[in-house]
Amino acid sequence: MSDPAHIWRQVSELMAGAREQVTLVAPFIKREVLAATLAAIPDTVANIKCVTRWVPEEVAAGVSDPEIIELASEDDRLHISLCPRLHAKLYLADDVCLLGSANLTGKATGLAAHSNIEILVEIPSNHVEVTRVLTDVQRQAVEASPHMAELVRKQADLLKTGPESSPRQDWYPVTRRPKVLYGYYCGRAHYSRSVEAAILRDLAFLGVPPGLSEHEFSVWIEARLHAIPFLKTLVDGGSLTNLELQMALQENTDLTDELARRATETIAAWLQHFGCYYTDVETWEIRPGQELA
């Protein structure tokens, strides 16, 4: 009969044999499992790299903990970075690597009930595919911060409660001044509770991964705006009057006339800030391109 703790024994024995450096790469990492992994690593190991990803929906589902950032403040050997596109799972100790399907979670390692069926295979850490993955990770990953962890947790908590848990295709922006988003996202700016609530609601629905540059952030949001169904005419190169947009909003939501009007103004502001659109002040049409001076 299969031993549910087999995966954990592989990981912990690998960690216990480390001499100089450890690298942990997994999309999903739970705080208690990472803490147990760190406890297995000898004190003589000076450098522990951890690469993961924090997606609000996944954190809300309970498969990943941004609170692992707290372990980095407790152990200065630990350095955490985030790679939004990460799917690989590999664990290295000096010249040995475990490669396979298991994340650093209770169910994946067999430390929790009803564990998954997983596999980890030992290969040399200088294997060409391991080198390729680590090179890609190093190029794309960004250093994690307490602000990123806190922001992802707030978004995850929002997704778990209230109307914000409804399907993402129903989203439209509510933050009135789109220029405030990136400063808050980066932790450079703080706002009143009502403004923060609007920003968090938008970020939660947008699913923006932590650590994007301002350009990457804008590209991500513009793509999400283009996915709003009632903006299809505009995205396809046509124009859309404020009144047409307001009527589409009212047909697809329970907004009152006044709230639909405000939502229309907000969407127009987002399109102008995050994309190449402008509002013709004479016809009140939202059009692709830039307004001529």
pTM of the predicted protein model: 0.87
pLDDT at 169: 55
Closest to 120 (Cα-Cα) out of 141, 92, 82, 84:
92
Cα distance between residue 54 and residue 214, in whole Å:
18
**Amino acid 292: pLDDT:** 41
| pLDDT at 163 (0 to 100) | 53
Do the Cβ atoms of 142 and 80 come closer than 8 Å? no
Write down the pLDDT at residue 187.
92
> Can you read off the two tokens belonging to residue 148?
């990123």
Domain ranges of the chain: 6-143, 166-288
Q: 134-189 pLDDT, tens per residue?
A: 999 999 999 999 999 999 999 999 988 755 445 455 788 999 999 999 999 999 99
Predicted confidence at residue 165, as pLDDT, reads 47
Q: In the block, which residue shows the tokens 């439209």? A: 172
Identify the pLDDT of residue 63. Answer: 95
Residue 293 is predicted with a pLDDT of: 40
pLDDT at residue number 253: 82
| CATH number, domain 6-143, options 3.30.450.20, 3.30.870.10, 3.40.50.1450, 3.30.565.10 | 3.30.870.10
Strand partners, 278: 287
Per-residue confidence (pLDDT) for residue 233, from 0 to 100: 81
Average pLDDT along the chain, 293 residues, taken 10 residues at a time:
84 97 98 98 96 94 96 96 95 97 96 93 96 95 96 93 56 93 93 94 91 92 89 82 87 86 92 84 73 45
Which segments of 141-276 does DSSP mark as H helices, in order?
Answer: 146-160, 181-186, 193-206, 214-226, 232-235, 242-252, 257-274
